[in-house]
Amino acid sequence: MSQKGPQFQVTLSIKREDSNAMVFYKQDGQRFDNDNTIKMKVQTPYKFFISIRPPQKIKLASAKGEELEMSSEEMSSDFSKYCYQWSSNNIPITKKNRRLSFNIILEISNLGVLELPLQLKFYGENDTTHSAWGKSLHHIEFDCVYKTGHSFVEIIKTMYR
């Protein structure tokens, strides 16, 4: 039986890179795999801001099988912050009553792999109505724990704010 190791919190924010605008999300209840759906647009550049308290070193971040490009990194005794760039250029518009599972995979030094499970719906790049319905997504908080002897990190609580 493995023992619980360090606990930490990962905070994820998503913004459009071209306008620095927030994205929106809505609660879908239990109709899909995840209770919340993040709304994004196709053909649009985004920034993923990841903060970890207490600080942890991210060796690699990827999404949809592609390594994310890190554009900034900041470390302090209280936190570590990273910014990654990603574009939805090769993502099709999501059909009605469908959602896309979109996991951000983080390889964290000395701990292992953390998978941030997201559920997205993509709208046309010129959509101004459906993509903006719902609540502004300020950030998502993932409370995490490393279990000694494992190569992965477990999420014990997720909160959309």
- pLDDT, one tens digit per residue, over 108-140 is 999 999 999 999 999 999 999 999 999 999 999
Q: Residue 64: beta bridge partners?
A: none
CA dist 51 and 130 (Å) reads 29
CA dist 77 and 54 (Å) reads 8
- pLDDT, one tens digit per residue, over 34-89 is 999 999 999 999 999 999 999 999 999 999 999 999 999 999 999 999 999 999 99
Q: What pLDDT is recorded for position 27?
A: 95
Q: What pLDDT is recorded for position 5?
A: 77
Longest dimension (CA), the chain: 52
Amino acid at 117: P
Q: What pLDDT is recorded for position 44?
A: 97
Sheet holding 66-67, edge to edge: 66-67, 58-63, 100-108, 112-123, 36-41, 24-27, 135-136
CA dist 32 and 91 (Å) reads 19
The answer to whether residue 104 scores a pLDDT higher than 70 is: yes
Q: What pLDDT is recorded for position 2?
A: 59
Q: What pLDDT is recorded for position 76?
A: 97
Q: Residue 126: beta bridge partners?
A: none
* Residue 159, SS3 per DSSP: strand
Confidence band, pLDDT 50/70/90 cuts, at residue 152: very high
Token pair belonging to 110: 């000395």
Q: What pLDDT is recorded for position 29?
A: 85
